[in-house]
Every structure is written in structure tokens, then in C-alpha cells.
Amino acid sequence: MTPSAPGGATTLEGLRILVTGGSGFIGRHVVSDLSSAGARVRVLDLQPHPDPGVDLVQGDMVEPDVLDAALQGGVDGVVHLAAVTSVLRSVEHPVLTYRTNVEATSMLLEGARSAGATSLVFASTNAVTGPMRGPAITESEVLQPLTPYGATKAAGEMLMSAYVNVHAAESTRVLLLSSDQLAAILSRWADIPAFVATKPRVALLAPWT
């Protein structure tokens, strides 16, 4: 990715970054920060973006035509935030949750690889680890999801791990438990490999080159 600019600020000038779920609360801030850093941001979301100036592909990413439109022209990186995030909804609609959180993630992986992406940030959840066994969740926790939501996000993590290994790529997982941590990672995009080395889960950086 683009190196840090003089003074320590990260420059993403000209990088093409797709943000799935970019119309949501966290996504809007991610889009704003990436754009301010010079990235050429495109949003893929079911909902419209409040800023009419944002490059938006509106639709369901599990639909091939929608995903193709989002990746048209190629991408350098993807921030994958789109998901069914409600535990209750995942219990009431497990098939929809699987379709959105697993099937769409698999399609995005292949599409992004083919479109030239070199880095991927995947927002997951502490729900992949199930009940807490201590005062804090650590990087050594095993996967033990208790809900369809947690299970599908764990599947997303495993899909990414397997996918990058199949393609002989290095991958690093990052634990993000708050939007502040996500913002910190995105603000240091060029320094992600060093930053995530000790924080494996809930977002996945997957360099393909």
C-alpha cells in the first residue's frame, strides 16, 4: 500500500478502495476517513449513502451483477463491513444471515482477487468466541459461536484464512472490539502489517501480492 507521508500521516492518494456496508454508521466514518486520506472510495450497500457525492453501487452484493458493478475498474483494497449484525435477526432468519455473511463474503473474496485487490479488512465480532472465560477476550480464544450470527462471522474468518492459503498468500487477522479500533487501523492503513501482527481476529488483512 501507499507509504506514510512526511510527518507520519498516512496517504492513500489514488488507491481504489471498496467499502461494503459503507452507508452504515461505522461505514460512513470509514468512507469519510479514507476519502480524506486521498483514496478513491466506492461504497457497496443496500441503502443509499447520505452523501450524494459518494460513488455508490446500491444493491445486494450476493447478486453477481451488483458485485461486478462494485468491482468494475479494479480495486486496490476492500473494507468488508456489510453483514447481518443482529443476533436476534440471525436466529429468526438463519438462511438470510448465511447468505449475507457467508455466501456474499465468499463471492467478494473471489471478485476482489480477480479485480486486483491487495489488502482486505474484514470486520467480524467477539461473538465468534462464545462465552467469556476470563476478564478479557484474548487472541488465543478458540472459536465457539453460540448463535447463527456468531457462526456465520466465524465462517467468514475461516473462508478468508483458507482462501488466502489456497492462493499462497500471507494473511493476518486483527481483533477489533470497537469502532475506535477499526478507525485506528484504517487511519494507519500503510502500517497495518506491523500493527496487526499481535492482534489476530475480527478483521482480516489479506495481502495477495
Contact 169, 160 (CB under 8 A): no
Judge whether 178 lies within some domain: yes
Write down the pLDDT at residue 10: 54
pTM for this prediction: 0.77
Write down the pLDDT at residue 168: 46
Is the pLDDT assigned to residue 189 strictly greater than 70?
no
Judge whether 67 lies within some domain: yes
Q: Check which CATH number belongs to the domain holding 28 and give it.
A: 3.40.50.720
Domain count, the chain: 1
Judge whether 170 lies within some domain: yes
Judge whether 3 lies within some domain: no
Tell which wins on pLDDT, 174 or 78: 78
Judge whether 190 lies within some domain: yes
Judge whether 161 lies within some domain: yes
User: pLDDT per residue over 91-105, tens digit each?
Assistant: 999 999 999 999 999
Judge whether 108 lies within some domain: yes
> What residues act catalytically?
149
Is the pLDDT assigned to residue 133 strictly greater than 90?
no
Write down the pLDDT at residue 131: 78
Judge whether 121 lies within some domain: yes
Average pLDDT over residues 171-176: 44
- Owning domain of residue 182: 16-205
